[in-house]
Amino acid sequence: MNTETYNKENKMRVLIIGHTGATGQDLLDLLIATPECESIVAIGRRKSDTHIGSSKLTQYVLSNMLEIASFDTALLKGVNVAFCTIGTTFKDVFKESKSAEYQAVDFGIATGFANLAQSAGVEFFGIITGDKSDSKSKHRMTRVKGETEDFVISQGFCRVAILRPGLLNRGKGRRGWLEQIFTFGGIFGLPVAKLAKAMVCMACNQTDSLKRYESVDIQKAILNFEKAS
């Protein structure tokens, strides 16, 4: 287990994957603007063009993300917070033809990242899974997410935040037709920008060694964050 003492006054030195996705982009924007965040290391298949040149951000491209567990930890010196925002897109998650890809991304890459974060000495690990995640579920989607949660917990981080939002709303211009139907054109669903705010709030304030946040808990965390801002 990582035994680094939790101190709310410590600056965040962040390791992140999924930073080019909808939630990850908003999280990256927020971290760069947050004084409590000192530095960010982002690993992905491609770089984010939005913040190239930012003094806080270092980006590494890894063509095969399934090999992330073997990434050189010497490049991650000092990281103490990790965020995993990677996941299969809404339009593909229910497709049987995408089941192998779903397993590879949502379990394979996510658990590889957790292993890397543990090796790098991360103290806080935050990950987005999904509503009703359960490794014993009969349903592929919730079972894979539950298996991922179990693996993350087994790594022995000092603090783990597992976010289980329901339907996400990626905002105008970032929704496929199926997502637009389920969110009624963006009226419903948790905006990913608010989910990003909740993740930062948890990294800064959570004292529990393990906490699972259902949708209602995420909303409460957002309100606390906004009150403190």
Residue 120's CB: how many other CB atoms inside 10 A? 21
Residue 147, CA distances (Å) to 9, 125, 160, 167, 212 in order? 33, 16, 15, 20, 14
Per-domain boundaries in the chain: 12-228
Phi, psi of 24 (to 5 degrees): -60, -40
Beta 57-61 vs 12-17: how paired, if at all? unpaired
pLDDT in tens, the chain (229 residues): 454 555 667 899 999 999 998 899 999 999 999 999 999 999 999 999 988 889 999 999 999 999 999 999 999 999 999 999 997 654 444 555 456 777 888 899 999 999 999 999 999 999 999 888 889 988 877 898 999 999 999 999 999 999 998 777 766 544 443 444 344 344 446 888 889 999 999 999 899 999 999 888 888 887 877 776 6
3-state secondary structure of 14: strand
103 Cβ contact partners less than 8 Å away, ≥ 6 residues apart: 144
Per-residue confidence (pLDDT) for residue 171, from 0 to 100: 61
- Identify whether the C-beta of residue 130 lies closer than 8 Å to the C-beta of residue 145: yes
Residue 78's CB: how many other CB atoms inside 10 A? 12
CATH 3.40.50.720 fits 12-228, yes or no: yes
Q: Is 160 exposed, middle or buried (0-12, 13-18, 19+ CB in 10 A)?
A: buried
Per-residue confidence (pLDDT) for residue 97, from 0 to 100: 45
DSSP state of 4: P
Per-residue confidence (pLDDT) for residue 175, from 0 to 100: 45
Write out the two tokens for 96: 């049987």
- Identify whether the C-beta of residue 118 lies closer than 8 Å to the C-beta of residue 69: no
Per-residue confidence (pLDDT) for residue 95, from 0 to 100: 53
